[in-house]
Amino acid sequence: MEITTTITGFVALYIFLLAAFAGYEIIGRVPAILHTPLMSGSNFIHGIVVVGAMWALLNAGSTLEQVIGFFGVLLGAGNAAGGYVVTERMLEMFKPSTKVAPSTEDKE
């Protein structure tokens, strides 16, 4: 498949503008206690780069492109999977108080 340029000019700029504002608004309201998981979570989101690398590798027409494409997919997959695992691990630990009397034998 050739690259068909359908997202061009002002349409591209509009997407860019709206997405930039969306990111700004979403992060602006996050409490500071979540900053580390959030940095890691946004790190996971740009792991979507792996699908672009997959396209590049599938459309590779020379050994050089195959080698670069291979590393692209490898790195992109690591970004997505690693970002997911560490973010999920961190967020899983955030728990509210067990809202009963102070004397609780919490499970370890």
Partner 1 sequence: MFSAFLIDAAYFIAAFLFLFGLKRMASPVTARSGIVIAGGGMVLAVAAAFLYGFDVSPRAQPHLGMNLLLLVIALGLGVSWAWYSGKRVAMTDMPQMVALYNGMGGGAAAAIAATELFSGNALAHGPVVTLLAVLGGLIGAVALSGSLIAWAKLDGRMNKTWRLPNQQYVNLGLFCAALAMGAALVVMGLMDVVQAPVFVIALFFIVALVLGVMLTTPIGGADMPVVISLYNAFTGLAVAFEGFVLQNPAMIIAGTVVGSAGTLLTLMMAKAMNRNVSNIIFSDFGGGDDSDDSEISGSMKAADASDAAIAMYYASKVIIVPGYGLAVAQAQHKLYEFVKLLQKQGVEVSFAIHPVAGRMPGHMNVLLAEAGVPYDIIYDLEDINEDFPQADVAIVLGANDVVNPAARTRKSSPIYGMPILNVDQARQAYVVKRGQGKGYSGVENELFFEENTSMVYGDAQKVMVQMIEAIKSLG
Considering only residues 10 to 49 of the shown chain, the ones binding partner 1 according to CB under 8 A are 12, 15-16, 19-24, 26-49
> Per-residue DSSP letters for 33-81?
GGHHHHHHHHHHHGGGHHHHHHHHHHT--SHHHHHHHHHHHHHHHHHHH
22's tokens: 């969306």
In the complex, what is the shortest distance from the CB of residue 101 to partner 1, in angstroms, rounded to a whole number?
9
Report whether 104 contacts 96 (CB < 8 A). no
In the complex, what is the shortest distance from the CB of residue 12 to partner 1, in angstroms, rounded to a whole number?
6
Number of residues that bind partner 1 (CB under 8 A): 93
In the complex, what is the shortest distance from the CB of residue 76 to partner 1, in angstroms, rounded to a whole number?
4
Site string for partner 1, 77-96 (x = CB under 8 A): xxxxxxxxxxxxxxxxxxxx
Site string for partner 1, 56-75 (x = CB under 8 A): xxxxxxx-xxx-xxxxxxxx
Residue 46, φ and ψ in degrees, nearest 5: -75, 0
